[in-house]
Amino acid sequence: MEKKAYHQMYDFIGKTAVITGGAGVLCGEMAYALAECGANVAILDKDPSLAKRVLERIESTKGKAIAVYVDVLKRDVIEKAADEVLKAFGRVDILINGAGGNSPKATTNPEQSFFDLPEEGFRFVSDLNLLGTILPTQVFGKVMVQQKEGVILNISSMNAFRPLTRIPAYSAAKAAVSNFTQWLAVHVAQEYSPTIRVNAIAPGFFLTEQNRFLLTDKETGQLTPRGKKILDHTPMGRFGDPEDLLGAMLWLCSPASKFVTGIVLPIDGGFSAYSGV
């Protein structure tokens, strides 16, 4: 591989990044950052209105972007999305599997014990996070195999390292995503190409639309008991901002990490390092 100057390692001009869940708070910021660095970005999401907002923001960058409808649990829909991406940009260099989430039906609370959680809640959360990572990887990873190069970045979670109370399905599914990341990194390097890399980031606690009012009070903005407990166990004493993910994301997607594969990188303000004493 031709040696790049250090300042060129984060130049993504001519590269194409595909981001599932690309219209979300965290992945929308990743899409913008990659476009800022010159990448062509395909925002794959189920919500056209949110995707449009990300596209409008990217217009001010030197990158190009398209929004493509996708359902990460339907392989035929993912394949159609891949056709659109290849028609627009000709290749796929980066896949960020950002689609995921939890459900109230898979969350324990005083009115809903673990033993009464409905099967459909567990199945939905498990499928969304694990199959919603595997199926896009099968489709877009096949393109990378043909190219003999590419980067896959999965989104795991602190829950994969240290399971959190109340969210058993999400914790188990994210642990599975971490395991799958390591398995796939070995598989593609040995069976197809050592220049196809697979890694994951494991965000700690970031305020998103999904968890904002679990961690802060809707009326006062003050921390809920759960939010306070989290910050008490986060040495840096704050929730993460979407921008806090970008350095790690850009590094793992760039030639600066060309000898890195199979890792799950915590981005958590020290949460995973703190024993509580």
Helix (H, G, I), strand (E, B) or coil at 240: strand
Could you confirm whether 192 is annotated as catalytic?
Answer: no
Q: At what angle do helices 246-253 and 25-36 cross, to 10 degrees?
A: 60
pLDDT of residue 271: 96
Helix (H, G, I), strand (E, B) or coil at 172: helix
Residues 6+ apart with CB under 8 A from 201: 153, 154, 155, 156, 245, 248, 249, 252, 264, 265, 266, 267
The pTM assigned to this predicted structure is 0.95
Which one is catalytic: 10, 32, 170, 274?
Answer: 170
Q: How confident is the model at residue 3 (pLDDT cuts 50, 70, 90)?
A: low
Measured CA to CA, the distance from residue 258 to residue 143 in angstroms comes to 19
From the number of C-beta atoms within 10 Å of its C-beta (0-12, 13-18, 19+), residue 259 rates as exposed
**What domains appear along the chain, each with residue ranges and CATH number?**
6-204+246-267 (3.40.50.720)
Could you say which DSSP state residue 277 is in?
-
**Four-residue CA torsion sign, 239, 71, 143, 49:** negative
Encoding tokens for residue 59? 């217009």
Could you say which DSSP state residue 170 is in?
H
pLDDT tens per residue across span 243-270: 999 999 999 999 999 999 999 999 999 9
pLDDT tens per residue across span 55-109: 999 999 989 999 999 999 999 999 999 999 999 999 999 999 999 999 999 999 9
